[in-house]
Structure 1
Amino acid sequence: MLQINDLTFDAWGRRFFDHATVSIPVGAHVGLVGRNGVGKSTLFKLILDQLHAGDGEIGYPKNARIASVDQEHPATPISLLDTVLAADEERERLTNELETADPEHLGEIYARLYEIGADRAPSRASEILSGLGFSNADLSRPMAEFSGGWRMRVALAAALFAEPDLLLLDEPTNYLDLEGALWLESRLKKYPHTAVIISHDREILNNSCDHILHLADGKLTIYTGGYDSFERQREEKARLQEANKAKVDAQRAHLQAFVDRFRAKASKATQAQSRLKMLQKLPPVSSVVAEHVAPFILPSPERPLAPPLLRLEGVSAGYDETPILKHLNLRLDLDDRIGLLGVNGAGKSTFAKLVAGALKPQSGEFTRSARLKVGWFHQHQIEALNPKDTPLDIIRTVMPEASEASRRARLAQYGLGHQKVETTVDSLSGGERARLLLNLVALEAPHLLILDEPTNHLDIDSRRALLDALNEYEGAVILITHDRSLMELVADRLWLASDGTIAPFDGDMDDYAKFVIDRAKQAGKAPTQVRAAEPVEVPKPPPPPKTKVPTGTARRRAESAEAALARATAAVTELDKALTDPKVFSEDPAKAAELGRKREQAQVALEKAEQEWLDAVEAYEAVKVDA
């Protein structure tokens, strides 16, 4: 499906691809992985011809449909459902042709619409939108009413609905909640064409991908299987490379020792020269360089607090006297690891603010230890950073008494070396900013860590480092994340935010994934706000005329054929009249497809009646001439 041959690309003072070659088979679901900044998004831009390679070529079948999701959908007055339906360009084109098509072409158009499943399109679009977090009430809302993050989801929904031959997705879960990520994982697993997905989500790479494409050192290497299989194959490859290097180094040392010992002896000079040539022919084998990932430093609280850390009894919380959450009856102890589930808007962030002390309860009893220290990480902290500050400026505010050397040493522990500590925030990558803030919120060894989407900018190795740090941390954790793997490996209890409250969820992540997918399927089947079409009375086409020659006289045969032709013509006219109503297809595609099939049958009957009438008239005229 996609062939990359000898690709070389230089930009911004560095080489991204160095004679890279790879072939991606038709129908493969490929996870594109590599460290942050290595060039994964750049590869997508090269495939889409937004950037131009210095050498080599990128090829795919002629007329292949390619789609990516690299920007939010524009804010238009068009409804959400119609926006997604318009992504199927063939269906949209055929629908528009209905308004101006000649009657004789209507049957062909409806037949093609039926063939591509146009009658099922609204239901399929609704299911996709529901899976990505939209409600049935949203389907008729104009695009202009949705925020940028939700319009990114619309762009993803449109790409999935259109089902291009090659689908390119760059970190699609970054603007989804866990529920959307779970649904997307299931959807991508069944995607009918080729897909290449840049992702740091281990579950998607394991469950939705059958190949892993690894980008490192300007080269592309493809592996079969999911991410776990890729890691095993890569480790085995590294082991074999190290073993081969040890073998070659030993052979080189042995040959060099012989040359050094006998080069000066005339009797051994020939053997020494021979071994010197062998030495020169030994292939160089490089050492495997392990990629270092700085650890996260999450110090545990020095003194545990008496349980419970928190107790909520009948608590309500919200904004401007409007409660978002009600009837909260929950308890949190020092050893609790809570995974907080729920769709966007269900109140997860409100609950985080309440627990962190940034929001006061409106009613109920909220008991909280007076000595409780909370470390709270959320995405708004990254957005609120002053773009002109440096990591050194930021750490000075949280370590005012420390020496400059101590501050620099602490930043180095966080993975920000001397070349980064005086770099402005707007020049740091999203992962570097997230890493800095995650470490800083835990600087004072809090009793409770609240982590709201901590992995959005972290690559897969950094996510593993965060997992290791959380498993070593001995305080309580409330985790909100779309990373299923992190949720499964950190949380030992699940709470679900829904219907205006938060309560324990009875089940594990597999149960919740099934719940999310089943809910999306049911929502896709639910009635939308599209008005049902009025029933259309369609005259039945006449049965095909008998093909046997009439036994009466030539004149009676001609008259009978003329009457059959008139009936067939009337049937076609009535069907054309029904089909030219634009509401028929827009409001009831299934009915329109049925009318199209009947119109085709009536046209066949009309053609046969015309031929029978011509034959009968010619026979009658011949009889008259003979007479």
Structure 2
Amino acid sequence: MLRISDISYSVAGRPLIEHASATIPDGHKVGIVGRNGTGKTTLFRLIRGELALETGEITLPKRARIGGVAQEVPSNEVSLLNTVLAADTERAELLEESHTATDAARISEIQTRLADIDAWSAEARASSILRGLGFTSAEQQMPCSDFSGGWRMRVALAGVLFSQPDLLLLDEPTNYLDLEGALWLETYLARYPHTVLIVSHDRELLNRAVGSILHLEDKKLTLYQGGYETFAEARAARLAAAESEARKQDARRAHLQSFVDRFRAKASKAVQAQSRLKMIAKLKPITTPQEAALKRFTFPTPEELSPPIIRIENGVVGYDGKPVLSRLDLRIDQDDRIALLGRNGEGKSTLSKLLSDRLDLMQGRMTKASKLRVGYFAQHQVDELHIDETPIDHIRRLRPTETPSRLRARLGGFGIGSEQAETLVGRLSGGQKARLSLMLATLDAPHMLILDEPTNHLDIESREALVEALTAYSGAVILVSHDMHLLSLVADRLWLVKDGAVAPYEGDLQSYRAMLLGNDKPAKVEKPKTNKPKRPSRDAILALKKDVKICEQRVEKLNEMREKVAAKLADPAIYEDTYGVADWQKKYAEIEDGLVRAEALWMAALERLEHAEI
């Protein structure tokens, strides 16, 4: 059991955590949430004993092993598989000793312990973890030096998962995973045999992989039972109750004060006035948790272009003469919201580079609208910012004639305040750097925005703001993300990049998730059920309701698109261009087809919910 008792800690004299307490039973999976800068990572360092507490104590069972991903594995010549195997130091030490031990009793102890920790299946377990995180069997035999820093972070994660510490501390583990790796981690953590604490802003991970939420807010810790959606509902009710009590107390204080003000000077009422002053003094202020101002994103509005803005016919793209994607027959319109699905290495980044003019076609034809502007955001661009310059310096280089006030207004539209605008980028948080890169990517009001993992380092409030901004944005969106919540709310088309091709995915995100997870599980033999079906849990009902809402929103969006295209087709002016009319007619047919599928998915979701609620 992990006990956090009355702990306090300050940074440079500023209290970060004050007299906070929480108890985590053994084997529990807990998500730690809170706005960026509230002290979640600091809490992990306090648990590991890397920082000294000012008050209180943190206790764990004796000999409990704490594990986490501190940094990427070194770039050396050791294979990925052997690197992961070496992470279980006890197994490695016992195996080494087994080759030199001569005492019969000690040899027996070593063999017994090796059997207890399942040492002989270690290679298969390590390989399975690496495979789940995206490494093929061939790649597992390659040296760490063959992989970039992001991939070596995955190896480090694989190592700590393999070593199975008694307390597993994970700080934003999905930041260096793709969607497939994040889904695998979600199911792995749900089955993990020991205690897990996860700092994360990934709503789906917090809904599926943990059983409770530890909220760090206003320097205090509050433990909520259930996943993130349950926590959000409970916290909203708590906030509403606190605000209601605060309003009642304000009204009570005002009433008492009005009596004092009226009768303070009257001798006959002096005693009563003094009595009410004492009552006012005894009223303890009811404080409500400080809500962060939602830092919105403000994307510039591009002018409308005639469809399609991009058309690719029989395209082939790759590197050094070797095709990665072939037979590309794709069309993108300005109102498209497309999510790219597919495992790492299948070609999602290659397609993104082709669409953003960072790669040329090897064969085939690509036509673009003549005035097309494309914005591109990828995680590596955040890392390529000039750390010795300020955000103002970055934008001034691109807009040298604009006034300082205009430059600051542009930064403010992405939640970068006046203080951060003059701060060196090297001192900004990861979220602030991501906002700066997003601002730079959209500076020219692009007609199409390509986003590769845009939510890394953004807290939940900022992710919700990004969803709102993308929903309001009038350009096309091409999205690659491990954040299922973002994908479900933004994307209305899914493209699957697989086996060297790109094709529409006919199902929804939930069916894609089920397909991915099903591939990693052995087929189950269905047994006849004789017992009465168990009523779904509250969390399951909430998940079904969420599916219904997402399906309904998709139908509404497609209806809006259909009305817009129908209005275009009703305009006599477009019939002057036969080629343009054909494009609009094809677009209308595609929307009609998509609407039929979306309505079918909506009805199926409603039926599942109705069946569950019976």
Q: What TM-score does the superposition give when structure 2 sets the normalisation length?
A: 0.80
Instruction: Give, as a single letter, the amino acid of the residue that structure 2 aligns with 1:204.
Output: L
Give the Å deviation of 1:351.
1.1
1:424 is the counterpart of 2:403 = no
How far apart are the structure 2 equivalents of 1:518 and 1:288? 42
Amino acid at match of 1:163: Q
For structure 1, the 5+ residue unaligned runs are 523-627
Return the letter of the residue paired with 1:447: H
> What SS class does the counterpart of residue 456 from structure 2 fall into?
coil
One-letter amino acid matched to 2:120: D
Equivalent-residue separation in structure 2 for 1:420 and 1:139 (angstroms):
42
Following the alignment from structure 2 to structure 1, what is the Cα–Cα distance between the partners of residues 172 and 289? 28
Retained in 2: the 8 A contact 1:200–1:459? yes
Which residue in 2 is equivalent to 1:286? 287
1:165 corresponds to which residue? 166
- TM superposition shift of 1:174: 1.0
Q: Give runs of aligned pairs for residues 333-482 of structure 1, distance below 5 A.
A: 333-482=333-482
Task: Tell me the secondary structure at the aligned position of residue 134 of structure 2.
Answer: coil
Please give the per-residue CA displacement for 1:15-64, whole angstroms capped at 9, x wherever unaligned.
22122222222222111111112211111111111111222211111111
CA distance in 1, matches of 2:106, 2:433: 60
Q: Would the alpha carbon gap of residues 247 and 101 (structure 1) be closer, same or farther in structure 2, given more than 3 Å must change? A: farther
8 A contact 1:295–1:413 mirrored in 2:
yes
- Tell me what 1:243 maps to: 244
Q: How far does residue 376 in structure 1 lie from its aligned partner after superposition?
A: 1.3
Q: Distance in 2 between matches of 1:511 and 1:117?
A: 35
SS of residue matched to 1:419: helix
Would you say the 8 A contact 1:64–1:166 is kept in 2?
yes
Aligned residues of 1:127 and 1:521 also touching (Cα < 8 A): no
- The amino acid that maps onto 2:161 is L
CA distance in 2 between partners of 1:67 and 1:380 (Å) = 28
Query: Could you say what secondary structure the match of 2:6 adopts?
Result: strand
- Matched residues in 1 for 2:147 and 2:338: separation? 31
**AA in 2 matched with 1:169:** L
Question: 1:520-575 CA deviation, whole Å, 9 max, x = no partner?
Answer: 457xxxxxxxxxxxxxxxxxxxxxxxxxxxxxxxxxxxxxxxxxxxxxxxxxxxxx
Q: Secondary structure at the match of 2:420?
A: coil
Letter in 1 for 2:263: F
Q: Which amino acid aligns with 2:251?
A: A
Aligned counterpart, 1:604? none
Once residues 299 and 75 of structure 1 are traced to their aligned partners in structure 2, the CA distance between those partners, rounded to angstroms, is: 42
Provide the C-alpha distance between the structure 2 equivalents of 1:521 and 1:346, rounded to a whole number of angstroms. 22
Quick check: 1:257 aligned with 2:270?
no
1:69 aligns with 2:69: yes
Match of 1:233 in 2: 234
Give the drift of 1:361: 0.5
Shift in Å at residue 224 of structure 1?
A: 1.3
Native 8 Å contact 1:131 1:517 kept in 2: no
Would you say the 8 A contact 1:314–1:365 is kept in 2? yes
Asked if 1 retains the 8 angstrom alpha-carbon contact of 2:416 and 2:435, the reply is no
Give the whole-Å Cα distance in 1 for the aligned partners of 2:111 and 2:67: 26
> Is the deviation greater in 13-22 or in 53-62?
13-22
Counterpart Cα distance in 1 of 2:121 and 2:511: 29
- In structure 2, stretches of 5+ residues that fail to align are 523-614
Equivalent pair of 2:217/2:289 in contact (CA under 8 Å): no
Counterpart CA distance in 2 for 1:15 and 1:296 is 30
Closer/same/farther in 2, CA of residues 388 and 225 from structure 1, 3 Å limit: same
Contact 2:211 2:227 in 1 (8 A): yes
Asked whether the 8 Å contact 2:218–2:290 carries over to 1, the reply is: no
Shift of 1:128: 0.9
What does residue 22 of structure 2 align with?
22
- Asked whether the 8 Å contact 1:183–1:513 carries over to 2, the reply is no
1:584-607 deviation digits (Å, cap 9, x = unpaired): xxxxxxxxxxxxxxxxxxxxxxxx
Instruction: Summarize deviations over 1:98-126 as a string: whole Å, max 9, x none.
Output: 32254455555444433433333222222
1:190 matches 2:191 = yes
Aligned to 1:485: 485
Identity %: 54
Counterpart-to-counterpart distance in 1, 2:364 and 2:413: 43
Aligned residues: 521
Shift of 1:235: 1.4
Residue 114 of structure 2 is matched in structure 1 by 113
d(CA) in 1 for partners of 2:489, 2:216: 27
* Inter-partner Cα distance in structure 2 for 1:15 and 1:449: 41
Distance 1:291 1:471 in 2: 22
Within 2, Cα distance between the matches of 1:238 and 1:55?
Answer: 28
Question: How does the TM-score come out when normalised to structure 1?
Answer: 0.79
Q: Secondary structure at the match of 1:364?
A: strand
Partner of 2:202: 201
CA RMSD in angstroms, aligned pairs only: 2.1
On the 8 A contact 2:411/2:439 being kept in 1, the answer is no
